[in-house]
Amino acid sequence: MVELTVDGRTIQATEGELLVHVLARNGVFVPTLCHDAKLDPYGGCRVCVVEVEGAPRPVPACATRAAQGMAISTNGRAEKLRRTLTEMLLTEHLNANPGGRPNELVGLAEELGAEAPFILPDAKREPYEDRNRLMGYDPDACILCNRCVRYTQEVMQCSALSLEGRGPEARIVPTWDRSWLDTECELCGGCLSVCPTGAIYEKFEEGFPANREVQLDKVKTTCTFCGVGCQIDLNVDRETNRIVKVTSDPSYLPNEGDLCVKGRFAFNFVHHPDRLTEPLVRGEDGELHETSWEHALAVAAKGLEEVRDRHGPQSIGFLASARLTMEENFLIQKLARAVIGTNSVHSCEAT
C-alpha cells in the first residue's frame, strides 16, 4: 500500500494501481472516454487529465499508476483542461447520434458546460458502407479513441479492425479494407459495446426510428445459446412487443459484459413468422391442421393413453431438452415417471 493525497485529502492505494480507479474508489469523479478497465492503459483522449505535483505537465489518470507520496489535483487547472479537450473533440464531432446509442461525449459536454466553439473545416470524414447486416460505422461520430480496435486486439485477440489514415482522413476500418464479413471479425459486437460515442452502431430493421432507443425496457435474463450462461439484457420495445437488441453489462457474471455473435445478434428467431402459434393435430388427410388447445390436448392424451393401454408404459419414450428450463425438464421427467409410469426420459445431450 502507498499513501497519496487527492485535492489535499490523504488516501491509500495499492502501488501501481491506475489513478482513475483509485480516484473512483474514493468518490472523485474524473471523466473518461477511451478508458476501459478490460483493456491495457492507453491515455488517448486525455479527458481524464489530473495534475501531479512535480510532473512537468498534466497526466492522464487512466494511464498513470499510483506511487508513494503523489500529490494529485483533480480540480482547478485540470478541470479547465478537460473542458478544452472536450471542446476540441466536439469540433470534429459532426453526428452525435448515428444509431441512437448513448453518447458519452455528449453527456460529458453537458456536464462540463462545453460546447464546440466552431466546427473544423476538414471535420467531415469519408463514410463507407459495409454489406454486413448487423453493424455500421459513422466516422462523423468517431473520436478515434481506438477502444474498438484495442478490444479486438486485446480481448478477442484478432485483427478485425484497424485505425487507418492520419489527421482528417483518420477512421476505423475493417482490416485490409475488406468487408467485416471477410476479415477475422466474428461479429461479436464487442466494438459496438465499448464505443463511447455510438460511432459503431446496430443496424436496425428498416423503419425503426433511432430515437425509440430511449424507451426500451431492459429485462435481465440468461442467454439461450451455450453452457457459459452469459447474463444479458433483452431490450424490449413495449409498443411493438419486440426485442430490439441485446446488451450486457460489465458487472454481470460470468461474462462481464462480453457476448458472442449469437448471444448479441441471434434473437430474431423469437419473432420469426415460422413460429408456431396454434396447436396442430394431424387429420385424416395426413396433414397437420390448426386447432384449439382443448381439442389438441384431448387428442394427445387419448393417443398416448391408447399406446399405453395397448403396449404398456414402457412403450412410451420422452425426449426432454437442454433448450428448456430446469423447471420444465423436471416436469417432463415427472410426467414420464409419475403420470405415464416409465423411466424412459432422456435427451440428445447424453454427454
Per-residue contact string for residues 164-203; x = within reach of another protein by CB under 8 A: -----------------x----xxx--------------x
Closest contact distance (angstroms) between CB of 197 and another protein is 23
55 touches another protein by CB under 8 A: no
Q: What are phi and psi of 172, to 5 degrees?
A: -90, 130
**Interacting residues with another protein between 295 and 324 (CB under 8 A):** 296-301, 303-308, 310-311, 313-324
288 touches another protein by CB under 8 A: yes
Pick between residue 75 and residue 222 the one whose CB is nearest to another protein.
222
Q: b vs e for 179-200, b when ≥16 Cβ sit within 10 Å of the residue's Cβ?
A: ebeebebebbbbbbbbbbbbbb
Q: Hey, how many other C-beta atoms are within 10 angstroms of the C-beta on 55?
A: 13
User: Strand, coil or helix: what is 162?
Assistant: strand
User: Strand, coil or helix: what is 152?
Assistant: helix
Q: Are strands 200-202 and 135-137 parallel, antiparallel or unpaired?
A: antiparallel
Q: Pick the piece of the chain touching another protein (CB under 8 A) from 119-127, 161-169, 207-215, 293-301.
A: 293-301
For residue 65, give the DSSP letter: B
- The candidate with the shortest Cα–Cα distance to 221, out of 193, 249, 194, 241, is 249
83 touches another protein by CB under 8 A: no
**Interacting residues with another protein between 329 and 348 (CB under 8 A):** 329-348
Q: How far apart are CA 333 and CA 344, in angstroms?
A: 9
280 touches another protein by CB under 8 A: yes
132 touches another protein by CB under 8 A: yes
215 touches another protein by CB under 8 A: no
List, in sequence order, every residue forming a beta bridge with 235; answer none if it has no partner. 218, 245
List C-alpha distances in Å: 181 to 174, 192, 236: 9, 16, 27
Closest contact distance (angstroms) between CB of 257 and another protein is 10
User: Strand, coil or helix: what is 51?
Assistant: strand
C-alpha cell at 157: 485477440
22 touches another protein by CB under 8 A: no
236 touches another protein by CB under 8 A: yes
**Interacting residues with another protein between 91 and 130 (CB under 8 A):** none
293 touches another protein by CB under 8 A: yes
**Interacting residues with another protein between 145 and 164 (CB under 8 A):** 154-157
Pick between residue 91 and residue 132 the one whose CB is nearest to another protein.
132
Q: What is the CA radius of gyration of the chain?
A: 28
C-alpha cell at 285: 388427410
243 touches another protein by CB under 8 A: yes
Closest contact distance (angstroms) between CB of 113 and another protein is 36
